[in-house]
Amino acid sequence: MAEFTHPRLDDISLETVLHALGDPARLQIVRTLAGGGEMCCEGTLCSTHIPKSTRSNHLRILRNSGLIHTRRRGRELMNALRRGELDKRFPGLLDAVLPLVNG
């Protein structure tokens, strides 16, 4: 199976990140992942009843924007927020956005 491609830190643009965060479902995924650690695809949106194909598309957009890192663990796909890297690239962005999600 092919591995996923993730953008380098220098290639992540603010516009792409903001676009990815502009969808409520993707914002919820980021909020969930910001809670800590890795989560499988099912765990990131398990309570929203979103079809698997839609969930996969949301995760692809988040991955391509540089917000998350995805790796295979057996048959599962594990996702993690690239918090440290994003904080270096856009200091304060996630801190500014995540409280809005929690409200």
Domain ranges of the chain: 10-102
Residue 46 pLDDT: 56
Q: What percent of the chain has pLDDT over 90?
A: 53
Residue 38 pLDDT: 83
Topology annotation, domain 10-102: Arc Repressor Mutant, subunit A (1.10.10)
Q: What is the side-by-side order of every strand in the sheet holding 76-81?
A: 39-40, 76-81, 68-73
pLDDT digits (tens, 9 = 90+) for 23-71: 998 998 899 899 877 887 665 555 557 787 888 899 999 999 999 999 9
User: What contacts 4, CB < 8 A, 6 or more positions away?
Assistant: 63, 70, 71
